[in-house]
Amino acid sequence: MALLLLRRDLEKYLQKHQLAKKWAKARRLFEQNIRHPSLNVELLEPRWRGIYSFRIDQKYRALFFLVDGKAEVFAITKHYRKG
């Protein structure tokens, strides 16, 4: 599945948090196979919103939604765990 280009603010976020290489790897895996196990793609709650996430690394996730069969990343966030 193709990813749309990132907004400039998200590119800056990746650079600021030293995630550029990890992003490139995650993007490549995503485009080759959206179901790759290391991406851990999931549909977030509430499901009706259609917001998905995939793992960049253990700490960061990319949030995206689908537009005309392409994925548009709209946020990169720290991933938290409950408990």
At 5-50, the pLDDT tens digits run 899 999 999 999 999 999 999 999 999 999 999 999 999 999 999 9
> For residue 69, is it within any domain?
yes
At 52-73, the pLDDT tens digits run 999 999 999 999 999 898 999 9
> For residue 83, is it within any domain?
no
Structure-block tokens of residue 63: 């949030």
> For residue 67, is it within any domain?
yes
Answer whether residue 1 shows pLDDT above 90: no
Q: How many residues appear in the chain?
A: 83
Spatial neighbors of 16 by CB under 8 A, at least 6 apart, are none
> For residue 47, is it within any domain?
yes
